[in-house]
Structure 1
Amino acid sequence: MAAAGFFNRFMALRTATFVLCFVSMLAELQRIDHSVNSDSLRFLVVGDWGRKGEYNQSKVALQMGRIGEEVEPDFIISTGDNFYENGLTGVDDPAFEESFSNIYTAKSLQKPWFNVLGNHDYRGDVEAQLNPILRMIDHRWLCMRSFIINAEIAEIFFVDTTPFVDKYFTHPGSHTYDWSGILPSREKYLSNLLKDLDLALKESKSKWKIVVGHHTLRSAGHHGDTKELVKELLPILKANEVDLYINGHDHLVQHISSLDSELQYFTSGGGSKAWRGDYDLNKEGLKFFYDGQGFMTVEMTTTDAELIFYDVFGNVLYKWSTSKQAYKAI
């Protein structure tokens, strides 16, 4: 029986790996349709969380579940750094269940989780997080390098931001990064990604365009602006009238407003370890900043959107709302 179980798991792994590779060859940005059953779209956003429940990860998860009962989310978004400190070692790494399945146990969180990779995830076996076999362990998990969720009211474009950052290649320090699928042609990988994203945004007919990445574009926190993304990614977002850029990386929650477009920057990276104490409250366009743990909810209709930050105790920290009708009146 044990041998049969091992064989079945091995064959499932081979099949899942083949499917993953086949999808990757088809397109850089796979589109996934996720229909909603109402006239509004609701989801939660959390980032920088995977610490086996430590650093208040379990407490944030508890409040996500409680707020989730009220919000009834269609899905949850992770902004990356899913497993600390060094990603997963493989598809059989117990950290997957210890930091994910065993932590986010609330009934309201038993929805699809759409995940991007962070820099800490790249320090482990990247292909493990991308491998569909993890969905056999926990059906909620979906992680790809870059992809699109078509949720009718909004299209959400997930972007693999880590390969943009030069220092991970030129000055990695004591860390080792898994660049399989990126090297030896990093430039080609990034060029294709930007081209595919630009085309997908241009072709989008959605009322709302949201881009999700791990790294900051604008931030008053420790990491500040990511200069490579400001140079390469930001012009595409502005040219295609993207509404929201949502990220993690800085372990906090914040809102920065663009001064030359309608683009709004939201950081939701407070899923576990936080309170670094290194920030710039004079940051241009800064609307809200909280150097602590928390998460975000998003609710949208075809005309209106409301985003709310909650802290580790489930208290409302900040609310922001906007209207497409207001944009047209400007």
Structure 2
Amino acid sequence: MAINNKTTAVILVVYTVVAAINVAAELQRFDHQPTKPDGSLDILVVGDWGRRGLYNQSDVAFQMGRLGEKLDVDFIISTGDNFYEDGLSDVEDPLFDESFTKIYTADSLQKQWYSVLGNHDYRGNVLAQLNPVLKQKDSKWLCLRSFIVNSGIVEFFFVDTTPFHDNYFTEEDHEYDWRGVLPREEYLSNLLKEVEVALDESSATWKIVVGHHTIFSAGSHGNTQELVDQLLPILEAKEVDLYINGHDHCLQHISSPKSQIQFLTSGGGSKAWRDEFNQWDPNQLKFYYDGQGFMSLHIYEDKIGAIFYDVYGVILHEWSTNKFTCKDV
């Protein structure tokens, strides 16, 4: 389908109006049914990647493609900071092709990508990155502020974490596109209620929350106190299994001392921050790697696991846990 400037302009206007109206709407839900006979899922997770293939982005993409073929992955999750340094300027920005379409070219990666926004994405034209025109350009692209993906035994709750961060509203070095977010207090209040209700209503065996920002991290950015104070209590009360994020340019696994939640960071999609580490309780910090790489998730009705890989496809860390289901009783 050819997309001319007039069509693009109309879609942008309509999408802007809809986005403004739906700030307080119920989280949009997508059904992604498993294709494997046993209902299991294999998923790749990568974050902080969009640098035109530089800083080993292309190498990470190559290894993702190899593993994706081996696993026959169901879909890919992006934990945000999709386009550096300042998001997309508009839907015609060549950065979309140069950092996404032309990088993740393996046949195995031509599956649905579910993406959240990071703080660098908010420095650009947010509505462009959310615009359905991009899905017409590349059918595997899907990015929304907050939404749900239902895959039978597991539900993924994608949360827009950038507006929680106080500093972004006061810093003078960068400008952020807050269209659709202001008034901020109302936006965050509605979002927290939507997440709480969605988690409460979920009957999935596994509940996984995905956001860009860390909740807990031994990396450069460290903890995000606003999420610790506002989002984490909901996740603990609703017995979420995993919180997955990017933001810190590393691979990381932290175990919660207070609940079953595992905190997994996959932010090594391109530029890594070497030798930036904050001391952490070794009983909680199960794994930390300050280099490029990505993560895979393997989800069964009674078991879930995560594996971290480096830029060469070498396994760095593995974790799994079991859960009793009604069939086990």
Q: TM-score, normalised by structure 2?
A: 0.94
Q: Following TM superposition, where does structure 1 have runs of at least 4 consecutive aligned residues deviating by more than 4 angstroms? A: none
Check conservation: 1:13, 1:133, Cα contact below 8 A: no
Check conservation: 2:243, 2:264, Cα contact below 8 A: yes
DSSP-derived class of the 1:10 partner: helix
DSSP-derived class of the 2:43 partner: strand
Instruction: In structure 1, give the amino acid aligned to 2:309.
Output: Y
Other-structure match for 1:132 = 132
Ranges in structure 2 where 5+ consecutive residues have no aligned partner: none
In 1, distance between residues paired with 2:12 and 2:177?
A: 20
Other-structure match for 1:197 = 195
| Superimposed CA distance per residue, residues 209-229 of structure 1 (whole angstroms, 9 cap, x where no aligned partner) | 000000000101011100000
Other-structure match for 2:71 = 71
Instruction: In structure 1, give the amino acid aligned to 2:291.
Output: G
Instruction: In structure 2, give the amino acid aligned to 1:175.
Output: H
Q: Does 1:217 align with 2:203?
A: no
Other-structure match for 1:247 = 245
Between 1:31-40 and 1:153-162, the stretch displaced more is 31-40
DSSP-derived class of the 1:273 partner: coil
In 1, distance between residues paired with 2:137 and 2:17?
A: 20
In 2, distance between residues paired with 1:261 and 1:295?
A: 25
Report deviation, 1:277: 1.3
2:206 to 186, 205, 208: 208
Other-structure match for 1:265 = 263
Report deviation, 1:21: 4.4
Report deviation, 1:22: 3.5
Identity level (%): 60
In 2, distance between residues paired with 1:324 and 1:98?
A: 42
In 2, distance between residues paired with 1:204 and 1:117?
A: 24
Check conservation: 1:252, 1:275, Cα contact below 8 A: yes
DSSP-derived class of the 1:100 partner: helix
| Superimposed CA distance per residue, residues 98-134 of structure 1 (whole angstroms, 9 cap, x where no aligned partner) | 0000000000000000000000000000000000000
Number of aligned residues: 321
Other-structure match for 2:164 = 164
| Superimposed CA distance per residue, residues 14-43 of structure 1 (whole angstroms, 9 cap, x where no aligned partner) | 246525743764524101111112220111
In 2, distance between residues paired with 1:152 and 1:13?
A: 38
Other-structure match for 1:310 = 309
In 2, distance between residues paired with 1:220 and 1:86?
A: 25
Check conservation: 1:41, 1:153, Cα contact below 8 A: no
- Quick one: structure 1 residues 325 and 24, their matched pair in 2 at CA, closer, same or farther if it must change by over 3 Å? farther
DSSP-derived class of the 1:22 partner: helix
Other-structure match for 2:104 = 104
Q: Does 1:236 align with 2:234?
A: yes
Instruction: In structure 2, give the amino acid aligned to 1:11.
Output: T
Report deviation, 1:276: 3.0
Q: Does 1:10 align with 2:9?
A: no
Other-structure match for 1:179 = 178
| Superimposed CA distance per residue, residues 185-225 of structure 1 (whole angstroms, 9 cap, x where no aligned partner) | 10000000000000000000001000000000010101110
Other-structure match for 2:299 = 300
| Superimposed CA distance per residue, residues 237-277 of structure 1 (whole angstroms, 9 cap, x where no aligned partner) | 00000000000000000000001110000000000000331
Check conservation: 2:275, 2:290, Cα contact below 8 A: yes
Q: TM-score, normalised by structure 1?
A: 0.93
Report deviation, 1:173: 2.9
Q: Does 1:87 align with 2:83?
A: no
Other-structure match for 2:18 = 22
Check conservation: 2:19, 2:180, Cα contact below 8 A: no
In 1, distance between residues paired with 2:219 and 2:285?
A: 11
Report deviation, 1:92: 0.3
Other-structure match for 1:276 = 274
In 2, distance between residues paired with 1:162 and 1:276?
A: 24
Check conservation: 1:28, 1:192, Cα contact below 8 A: no
